[in-house]
Structure 1
Amino acid sequence: MSQKKRSMSLMILVLLLILIGCGKADRYAGFSQAEHALSWSNERNRSFGDADYSKIEKEAKAFDLLQDKYNVVVPNYYETTKHTLTKELTSKTVKLGAVQYAIFARNKELEFRTLYPFYQGEELQVFSEVILTYAYSVDQAQAYLKSQIVTIKIAPIKGTLPNDNQRELITAIGKNMKLPDKKLETGLAGYEKRLKESENPITDDYLPIVSNTSGLDKEQEFLKEIAAVYDEVGTFRELYAEISDQKSK
């Protein structure tokens, strides 16, 4: 093979490697700008290993561990969620207690958990858990943020939200999730209508309020859903909100 042909072959090889690398780096090329704000991905060539860090007392220490040991980034959604929880779940008498952090590595998945407890005096009123799950794709040599789940649970058997503000809480979380205003309002209106018109107590253990699962385009958007959980006597017990990557790889 001539020198000219070898040079040309080398240039083609380099170009192919660049194109492949770009494909790996931009997992969400088909997603909108709003969806991109909820995403994270980066190149990775090994699993997360197997480890438990269940008693992390400081957020900074948890973030350092995520960044330095596992090379993953906490998205802005985490910060906006923290602000929303603190604003909507505290009152004149209910205050945020000591926040707890934990990180669990299980081969191809990494889980970052944050627990926010809210107390009235010494009695727990509400607690919220934010779970970020990262996944490692061997085929794509890439790590990505697989899901972001927020749960808000009422602690006392006959308790309520501190500010009795379910609509405001759902609206704030929905906006953080980049759900369209119209879809959010339509979902809330349908949910409130069912509560008002139901002749019997609502006892659904998972009642979707707002969801984009119908007609979801996995290549252009995340799955997003907000749901309510009721107990067997019809008491509202939990709010559940999920953002998750449904792409095949």
Structure 2
Amino acid sequence: MSKNKKIIGMIVCSCVLIIALAGCTKPERYEQFSKTDQSLSWTNKRERSFGDSDYSNLKTEDEAFALLKDKYQLSIPTYYEDTKKLVNQMIPTKNIKAGKNKYSVFARNKTLEFKTVYPFYKEKELEVFAEVNLNYAYSIDQKQAYLQSQIIKITISKVKGKLPKDNLSELIQELGKNMKLPEKTIVSGVAGYEKRVNEAVEPITEDYLPVVSNSSGLKKNEEFLKEIAVVYDQEGTVREVYAEISEQRE
């Protein structure tokens, strides 16, 4: 081997080593999380905060997505699409139809919220609406943007209303599957909730009743908090189903 080839070879090896070391030392926000939880996450390099702006009259999903991608360099998780499908499968009936969706983006310095509202009407009367919130955050120290929480609220609008398909337990189960909660956790949580409802002597009036949750023993630096809860009013009527995936990093 010629002297020049040896020099080139040494340079290449040195570069490979430097790149390898850089890769090893580069902090990956979710490297300690399971592959399952990593599939629910999103993060990317970013040099500055989101600024302050309100976009409350976005007319279409495409317009909202373009704004997030082009202005803020953010991506939409697959969980959003899974939720959209679930909402449109689990809520509407023959008499209760989907209305026009509403999209908005609110940026406040180090936080940004993308909200989608899915309304459902019986003729002209609002029966139920589902709200999906994707909350992004910016870390100054790490120079990165990340998806901090994904929250779903399914709210019953009518005072004495209920879910159109009267399918609360099934809805909770499907939400849990989309959140990639263990099947045993989902089944156990739903069974416990149904038992409480069936055995209740007085109306349940809790304004936040967890049904399925991994909060007990949560490893905050290794997994997301995942929780599904039911909200009651003071009359004992179900008003809302709440589902959250969020980072609780210490």
Regarding TM over 0.5, the answer is: yes
Residues 26-35 or 100-109, more deviating: 26-35
CA pair 29-210 structure 1, distance change in 2 beyond 3 A: same
Instruction: After superposition, give the CA deviation of every residue in 1:16-40 in whole Å (9 maximum; x if it has no partner).
Output: 98247731xx211011111111000
Give 1:153's aligned residue: 155
Identity score, percent: 55
Instruction: After superposition, give the CA deviation of every residue in 1:46-89 in whole Å (9 maximum; x if it has no partner).
Output: 00000000010100000000000000100000000000000000
Instruction: After superposition, give the CA deviation of every residue in 1:96-153 in whole Å (9 maximum; x if it has no partner).
Output: 1000000000000010000000001111100010000000001111110000000000
Over alpha carbons, which structure has the higher Rg?
2
CA distance, structure 2, for counterparts of residue 50 and residue 13 of structure 1: 42
AA partner of residue 85 (structure 1): V
CA distance, structure 2, for counterparts of residue 219 and residue 208 of structure 1: 22
Give 1:172's aligned residue: 174
Instruction: After superposition, give the CA deviation of every residue in 1:172-204 in whole Å (9 maximum; x if it has no partner).
Output: 111000000000000001111111111100000
Give 2:26's aligned residue: 22
Determine if the alignment matches structure 1 residue 227 to structure 2 residue 229. yes
Where in structure 2 are the equivalents of 1:169-208 lying within 5 Å? 169-208=171-210
Give 2:52's aligned residue: 50
Give 2:5's aligned residue: none
Consecutive unaligned residues in structure 1, runs of 5 or more: 1-6
CA distance, structure 2, for counterparts of residue 21 and residue 169 of structure 1: 43
Give 2:109's aligned residue: 107
Residue 15 of structure 1, CA deviation: 5.1
Give 1:38's aligned residue: 40
Where in structure 2 are the equivalents of 1:212-223 lying within 5 Å? 212-223=214-225
Query: How much is the aligned-residue C-alpha RMSD, in angstroms?
Result: 1.9
CA pair 57-21 structure 1, distance change in 2 beyond 3 A: farther
CA distance, structure 1, for counterparts of residue 186 and residue 180 of structure 2: 10
Give 2:141's aligned residue: 139
Give 2:128's aligned residue: 126
CA pair 205-220 structure 1, distance change in 2 beyond 3 A: same
CA distance, structure 1, for counterparts of residue 140 and residue 46 of structure 2: 9
Determine if the alignment matches structure 1 residue 65 to structure 2 residue 71. no
Aligned partner (choices 93, 96, 100) of residue 95 of structure 2: 93
SS in 2 for 1:128: strand
CA distance, structure 1, for counterparts of residue 155 and residue 84 of structure 2: 15
Consecutive unaligned residues in structure 2, runs of 5 or more: 1-10
Query: What TM-score do you get using the length of structure 2 for normalisation?
Result: 0.91
CA distance, structure 2, for counterparts of residue 184 and residue 76 of structure 1: 21
Query: What TM-score do you get using the length of structure 1 for normalisation?
Result: 0.92
Moved over 6 A (4+): 10-13
SS in 2 for 1:112: strand
Instruction: After superposition, give the CA deviation of every residue in 1:193-240 in whole Å (9 maximum; x if it has no partner).
Output: 111111100000000001111100112110000000000010011000
How many residues are matched?
Answer: 239
AA partner of residue 121 (structure 1): E
CA distance, structure 2, for counterparts of residue 171 and residue 163 of structure 1: 14
AA partner of residue 55 (structure 1): N
